[in-house]
Structure 1
């Protein structure tokens, strides 16, 4: 299992391709707080719920100084279709080799219906303006996660 990040750790830098085919580099967002959330698969029920929750809360997160990046192992084409279908207005990034998920501790052993396998662990890491981890949450639930994150960050609607 990959190493999980903790508050105060330096957030691993990455450059990934977004749903529109553009490179997005975390270090280019220094000076901003960034919510980096990892989800297993675009267009699945839980991931759709979580993405739409981030979309619906994007204005208040932005007003509080947070940018949002969603990362999954999906290819760019699947991300583009998902983004368009759900009217998502924040970048979805493709991490097909799951190297970024591994660097963030969001890739590891999972259990489902009695089977054990390696996969993406639904996780959220908030990176502060200096590139350090402000919040690291692992094994989060798709439903209600954004509301809990907002409470943890002290963001009122």
Structure 2
């Protein structure tokens, strides 16, 4: 089983994490303006929204997560942020990040989707923290993201059992 089903997105996710850390120092947290269904309320199109559990997103033409638009989950979208894991305080460790990323394909996946990852047709990738983001706000959070390799999704994948 591959942990990273979309390697190009892993690189882009790392770039997003770094961009958010470097640009987010003087901005307000947009998450209170969003609904639990990921409707993107209050997030301007030209802003780079922080990743939030429940976000449904359209992949940008650039392929970079920071260029993705948050859309209502009822509309066609490419991916859904379904889980987050905050790593413990202390020194950054790539090994700890990699070990924690396995949670995205374990119980968190099965609880959200309704079947084990091995039985699912859905893909998953992670937006991991980096050494550069580690000390910033939400800098130790690893996000788990679902997608359907067959194309866009309408509605949430919660309980999809596929």
TM-score bin (small chain) = 0.3 to 0.5
Q: What TM-score do the two structures reach when normalised by structure 1?
A: 0.32
Q: Which has the higher contact order (CA 8 A, sep 6+)?
A: 1
Q: What TM-score do the two structures reach when normalised by structure 2?
A: 0.32
